[in-house]
């Protein structure tokens, strides 16, 4: 079956990265924004996976409520294509801070606070922490809700996870990426993830791994590469 994805996010950087990662696999990705859907459900889960599923389910519900989108992405009688509404819940887990900011990464110190301020505050807190105790990882859970093909079909759902290990550096460096990338140091590259080129980051990142695992799972369940 032909596979297509609707990416449920309000974060334009995630849309850009997911498109870059999926280009080449022939799977079209539509963002909720370009479909005219805006969903920002409360992230009440206690894990990345739960929150990713909350976002995917909320967006899938909105797609099914819009007659034009339902007809386009979940036509009752068409079994030649399958639409996965996918969502990413991600964040930075710092061991020396007991896993913070974790699932609170976007909300940490408030949405209005810039990432430069958030990173500066964390660097201050960790001033005396030696390198061997500065371990951290980016985590991305990618959840999928498969839109039903018929009234009786309840739609499958599942989630996968990707991680990228590194450590908190001592300064803010680099112009690429977004969020916490400029102080996330990758010892084997001698650079922060904001100093990697986009294709280098996508090759090793939590999101790259998560989206590739999700793509493999979709192809395994629903068909061949398009």
Binding footprint of ligand ITT on the chain (CB under 6 A) = 9-11, 14, 55, 88-92, 105-106, 138, 177-181, 205, 207
The residue at minimum Cβ distance from ligand ITT is: 179
How many angstroms separate the CA atoms of 16 and 146, rounded?
22
What is the distance of C-alpha 15 from the center of its chain? 9
Three-state secondary-structure class, residue 81: strand
Neighbours of 187 (CB within 10 A): 11
Comparing CB distances to ligand ITT, the nearer of 134 and 221 is: 134
List residues bridging with 135 in a β-sheet.
167
Q: How far is the CB of 166 from ligand ITT (least distance, A)?
A: 11
Comparing CB distances to ligand ITT, the nearer of 90 and 215 is: 90
Cα three-residue angle 161-120-108, rounded to 5 degrees: 45
- Rounded to whole angstroms, what are the CA distances from 15 to 30, 32, 223? 9, 10, 24
Q: How far is the CB of 2 from ligand ITT (least distance, A)?
A: 25
Q: Which of 68, 88, 89, 153 is catalytic?
A: 89
- Strands, E assignment, the chain: 2-7, 29-31, 81-94, 135-146, 157-168, 184-186, 191-192
Q: How far is the CB of 89 from ligand ITT (least distance, A)?
A: 4
Comparing CB distances to ligand ITT, the nearer of 81 and 205 is: 205
What's the number of CA atoms in the CB half-sphere (13 Å) around residue 161?
12
Comparing CB distances to ligand ITT, the nearer of 169 and 179 is: 179
Q: How far is the CB of 75 from ligand ITT (least distance, A)?
A: 27
Comparing CB distances to ligand ITT, the nearer of 4 and 90 is: 90
Q: How far is the CB of 91 from ligand ITT (least distance, A)?
A: 4
How many angstroms separate the CA atoms of 223 and 103, rounded?
33
Maximum C-alpha span of the chain: 62
- Check: CB of residue 142 under 8 Å from CB of residue 211: yes
Catalytic annotation present for 98: no
The residues assigned a catalytic role are: 89
């Amino acid at each position: 079956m032909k596979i297509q994805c609707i990416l449920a996010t309000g974060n334009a950087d995630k849309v850009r990265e997911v498109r870059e990662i999926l280009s080449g696999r022939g799977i079209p990705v539509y963002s909720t924004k370009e479909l005219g859907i805006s969903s920002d459900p409360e992230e009440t889960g206690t894990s990345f996976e739960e929150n990713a599923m909350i976002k995917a389910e909320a967006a899938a519900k909105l797609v099914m409520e819009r007659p034009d989108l339902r007809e386009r992405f979940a036509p009752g009688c068409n079994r030649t294509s399958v639409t996965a509404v996918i969502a990413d819940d991600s964040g930075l887990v710092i061991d020396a801070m007991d896993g913070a900011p974790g699932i609170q990464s976007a909300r940490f110190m408030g949405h209005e606070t810039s990432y430069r301020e958030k990173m500066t505050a964390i660097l201050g807190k960790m001033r005396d922490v030696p390198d061997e105790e500065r371990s951290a990882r980016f985590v991305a859970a990618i959840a999928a809700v498969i839109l039903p093909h018929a009234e009786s079909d309840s739609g499958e759902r599942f989630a996968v996870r990707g991680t990228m290990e590194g450590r908190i550096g001592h300064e803010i460096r680099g112009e690429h990426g977004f969020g916490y990338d400029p102080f996330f140091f990758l010892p084997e590259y001698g650079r922060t993830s904001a100093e990697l080129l986009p294709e280098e980051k996508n090759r090793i990142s939590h999101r790259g791994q998560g989206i590739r695992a999700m793509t493999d799972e979709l192809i395994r369940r629903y068909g061949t590469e398009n």
